[in-house]
Amino acid sequence: MAGMSVQESAQVIALLKSLKRRYTILLVEHDMNAVFALADRISVLVYGRILVSGTPEEIRGNEEVRSIYLGEEEIG
């Protein structure tokens, strides 16, 4: 989605959603909102190595991923 406007990204996400039940799609993307909207399984890479793989819910709940990619730190 790099270089796309918000509207263009939304159009591409809608197109990919319409195709995902008919085709296997490998998406390499840094826009986590797009990834969570589209993916059934996610592998998160750090320096070219898989940090964690799982469902969108598992990735969202992973503390390491939240800290590194989603910019969230545990408050407590």
Q: What is the pLDDT of residues 6-53, one digit of tens each?
A: 999 999 999 999 999 899 999 999 898 999 999 999 999 989 999 999
Residue 76: is its pLDDT beyond 50? no
CA separation for the pair 43, 53 (Å, rounded):
4
Q: How many residues does the chain have?
A: 76
Residue 26 domain boundaries: 6-68
pTM given for the model: 0.77
Establish if 51 belongs to a structural domain: yes
Within-domain flag for 26: yes
47 occurs within a structural domain: yes
Q: Which two tokens stand for residue 60?
A: 């969202």
* Domain assignment present for 25: yes
Contact assessment for residue 31 and residue 3, using Cβ atoms and an 8 Å cutoff = no
Task: Please report the pLDDT score of residue 44 as a whole number.
Answer: 93
List pLDDT tens digits, range 48-75: 999 999 999 999 999 998 888 766 554 4
Torsion of CA 31, 36, 39, 40, to 10 degrees: 160
